[in-house]
């Protein structure tokens, strides 16, 4: 009998141990495989062009085009490589690109597609949200593709991406770059964890401003499964800025690679540039990783041109180095500086020279050239496409292409009405004028970096960075060599401090409020507008007294994501958690600590109970 009890007890312990180990294997990282990564191999194939057909009611399409800056979702069906996804939500997306296209008579917007806002649990083989980027300001169509690829080769987490031939109701609309959103499927695929805090920078320098989360404008919470713990982010910023063991709070290797790749690719439409945007921060167990985003201005497309004499590898910032503590503080550490130099050496020798880019641009040319040649909404001519790969694009209007109808029409209208919709147009159509050819710039930058690494050229500039702190004139896009409206050009080396407080510069041409109006007053007004649900006469009068321009006021009223000043996170949706437009919640995150404690306590109680039952004899009672 005793042996039987021991055998039963042993079996109980074995079963409990198996359950505990199995649960820890599944939940130990704080995640369940909710999404999977089938979408990467099924759709994002680097040697093929994804076929995307947007099937949409004509009235809905026209409404979306006419109200593009409102970024309102409409319902459509999308067919991707023959697979039908019905009742998806689609809207125009972007900031400067959206406003610039809206200010022209082009309708080549970038688009965002949500798969599970209406149809619960519908995904694109695991993907909940897809971006279709319009290759704005890139005549080569290759800048963003190559940049993501080089980041990926360097071991940095990047979204899935591939080219997409986009059609609308069966008619070819244009060649786009399809890019995965930085949401739970991306986090699960790259980090094995969807329970951390996710932030997107709309314009934040990562300076430490104290312990109050409201003092960190320009950082939006993108975590949709739980409330973000701002104290973790603030602690990281405190240690970064004031000193301490930063590796406890920051993935330093990823940060150094982020700085190195952006520097080598001359991408200043990033944290390194005037706006301090286009990056995400993802937290796991208190440690933050920086993630690159929106790379279409790389390879000198963000007003840099081809003058490599302005590039200082140890001060790779537009404006003062001290204004970018992620760069300044990390590169002040000799160990990190040497690692950073090693990454620059790797990038320049392996990717910018040695035949890598030549082979990749040749491969991509073969892959996409037929789509570019017939692209009916192209921003540039086919000749500019070819020239921008190796030579220097002049950005002049074209006269020998099917798009002459579009481009000449735009130019004529711009000449007649240079401030259509409140956005000044002082350029020829074809954003990215004088953008250097990819191969030429890569060769020049590689040579300059190698000489700086060897000590043959200066790698610092007395803390002044690239000396481009004045930024670009209002109403102009990168690379246009514009000087701004008469009397409004800023003195060289000076930056409007309203761009330095973590907020992003308003879209091209939008007027700024008077200098005496602080961010707090503007954000307070924005909160009142959101609470009221509309622009009332009283609110308009209040804005007028503050001196807030009408175009800015209108944008504050219609903005879906607080693109002007950042925010504390997206508004709550119907489920009290995820807002419409970010995809439907599929599964709540798992609290691994609570689960482990629950399993442990339950297991102990069960084991003790069974042990008592097996090892102790029960009393028997007899009637007298």
Confidence band of 256 (pLDDT split at 50, 70, 90): very high
In 3D, which of 40, 284, 306, 375 has the Cα closest to residue 179?
A: 40
The pLDDT score that the predictor gives to residue 602 is: 62
Band (557; pLDDT cuts 50, 70, 90): low
The tens digit of pLDDT for each residue in 30-61 reads 445 689 999 999 999 999 999 999 999 999 99
More confident residue, 76 or 467: 76
Could you give the strand order of the β-sheet that contains 219-221, starting from the edge strand earlier in sequence? Answer: 219-221, 198-201, 279-284, 287-292
Q: pLDDT at residue 559 above 90?
A: no
Q: Return the exposure string of 219-254: e unless at least 16 CB atoms fall within 10 Å of the residue's CB, then b.
A: bbbbbbbeebebebbbbbbbbbbeeeebeebbbbeb
Q: Which of 572, 607, 468 is nearest to 9 (CA)?
A: 607
In this predicted structure, what is the pLDDT of residue 307? 75
* Long-range Cβ contact pairs of 53-56 (< 8 A, separation 24 or more): 53/78, 53/79, 53/80, 53/166, 53/167, 53/168, 53/169, 53/170, 54/78, 54/90, 54/111, 54/166, 54/167, 54/168, 54/169, 54/173, 55/79, 55/169, 55/170, 56/90, 56/168, 56/169
pLDDT, position 247: 99
Cα–Cα distance for residue pair 83/79, rounded to 1 Å: 5
Over its C-alpha atoms, the chain yields an Rg (Å, rounded) of 27
Q: What is the DSSP string of 16-70?
A: HHHHHHHHHHHHTTS----S-SHHHHHH--TTS-EEEEEE--HHHHHHHHHTGGG
CA dihedral 341, 342, 346, 349 (to 10 degrees): 60
Q: Inform me whether the pLDDT recorded for 243 exceeds 60.
A: yes
Specify the pLDDT at position 317: 97
Q: Do 306 and 300 contact (CB within 8 A), yes or no?
A: yes
Euclidean distance between CA atoms 436 and 383, whole angstroms: 14
pLDDT of residue 309: 82
Chain centroid offset of residue 593 CA: 31
Q: What's the mean pLDDT in 419-446?
A: 61
Phi/psi at 525 (5° precision) = -65, -40
What's the CA gap between 27 and 591, in Å, rounded? 8
pLDDT in tens, 603-616: 666 666 666 655 55
Q: Does the pLDDT of residue 117 top 60, yes or no?
A: yes
Half-sphere exposure of 424 (CA within 13 A, CB side): 15
Residue 169: its H or E element: none
Higher local confidence (pLDDT), 407 or 44: 44
Is the per-residue pLDDT at 163 higher than 70? yes
pLDDT of 495 above 90? no
pLDDT in tens, 561-582: 333 333 333 333 333 333 333 3
Q: Which of 210-219, 369-378, 607-616 has the lowest average pLDDT?
A: 607-616
pLDDT-derived band at 529 (thresholds 50, 70, 90) equals: confident
């Amino acid at each position: 009998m005793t042996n039987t009890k021991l055998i039963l007890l042993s079996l109980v312990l074995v079963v409990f141990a198996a359950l505990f180990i199995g649960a820890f294997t599944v939940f130990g990282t704080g995640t369940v495989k909710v999404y999977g990564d089938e979408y990467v191999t099924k759709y994002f194939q680097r040697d093929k062009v994804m076929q995307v057909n947007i099937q949409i009611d004509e009235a809905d399409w026209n409404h979306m085009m006419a109200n593009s800056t409102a970024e309102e979702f409409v319902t459509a069906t999308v067919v991707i490589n023959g697979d039908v996804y019905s009742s998806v939500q689609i809207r125009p997306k972007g900031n400067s690109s959206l406003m610039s296209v809206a200010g022209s008579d082009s309708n080549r917007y970038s688009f965002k597609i949500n798969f599970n806002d209406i149809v619960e649990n519908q995904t694109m083989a695991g993907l909940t949200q897809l971006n279709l980027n319009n290759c704005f300001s890139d005549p080569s169509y290759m800048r963003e593709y190559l940049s993501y690829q080089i980041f990926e080769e360097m071991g940095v987490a990047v979204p899935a991406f591939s080219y997409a031939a986009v059609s609308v109701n069966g008619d070819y609309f244009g060649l786009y770059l399809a890019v995965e959103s930085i949401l739970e499927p991306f986090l699960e695929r790259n980090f094995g964890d969807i329970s951390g805090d996710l932030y997107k920078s709309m314009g934040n320098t990562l300076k430490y401003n104290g312990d109050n989360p409201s003092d960190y404008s320009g950082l939006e919470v993108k975590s949709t499964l739980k409330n973000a713990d701002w104290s973790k982010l603030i602690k990281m910023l405190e240690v970064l800025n004031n000193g301490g063991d930063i590796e406890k709070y920051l993935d330093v290797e990823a940060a150094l690679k982020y700085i190195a790749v952006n520097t080598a690719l001359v991408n200043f439409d990033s944290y390194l540039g005037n706006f301090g945007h286009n990056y995400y921060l993802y937290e796991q167990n208190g440690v933050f990783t920086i993630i690159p985003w929106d790379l279409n201005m790389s390879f000198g497309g963000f007003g840099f041109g081809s003058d490599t004499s302005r590039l200082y590898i140890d001060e790779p910032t537009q404006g003062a180095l001290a204004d970018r503590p992620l760069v300044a503080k990390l590169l002040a550490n000799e160990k990190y500086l040497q690692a950073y130099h090693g990454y620059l050496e790797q990038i320049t020798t392996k990717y910018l020279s040695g035949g890598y880019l030549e082979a990749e641009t040749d491969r991509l040319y073969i892959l996409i050239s037929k789509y570019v040649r017939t692209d009916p909404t192209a921003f540039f001519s086919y000749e500019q496409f070819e020239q921008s790969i190796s030579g220097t694009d002049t950005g002049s209007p074209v006269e020998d292409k099917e798009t002459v109808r579009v481009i000449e029409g735009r130019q004529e209208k711009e000449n007649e009405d240079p401030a259509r919709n409140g956005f000044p147009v002082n350029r020829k159509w074809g954003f990215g004028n004088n953008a250097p050819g990819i191969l030429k710039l890569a060769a020049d930058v590689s040579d300059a970096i190698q000489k700086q690494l060897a000590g043959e050229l200066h790698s610092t500039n007395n803390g002044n960075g690239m000396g481009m702190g004045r930024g670009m004139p209002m109403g102009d896009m990168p690379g246009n060599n514009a000087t701004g409206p008469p009397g409004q050009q800023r003195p060289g080396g000076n930056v409007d401090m309203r761009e330095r407080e973590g907020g992003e510069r308003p879209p091209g041409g939008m007027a700024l409020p008077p200098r005496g109006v602080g961010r707090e007053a503007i954000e307070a007004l924005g909160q009142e507008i959101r609470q009221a649900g509309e622009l009332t006469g009283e609110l308009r009068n209040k804005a007028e007294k503050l001196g807030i321009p009408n175009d800015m006021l209108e944008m504050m009223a219609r903005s879906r994501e607080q693109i002007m000043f950042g925010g504390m996170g997206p508004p709550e949706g119907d489920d009290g958690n995820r807002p419409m437009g970010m995809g439907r919640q599929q599964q709540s995150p798992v609290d691994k600590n609570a689960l482990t404690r629950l399993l442990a306590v339950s297991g102990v109680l069960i084991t003790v109970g069974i042990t008592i039952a097996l090892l102790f004899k029960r009393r028997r009672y007899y009637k007298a």
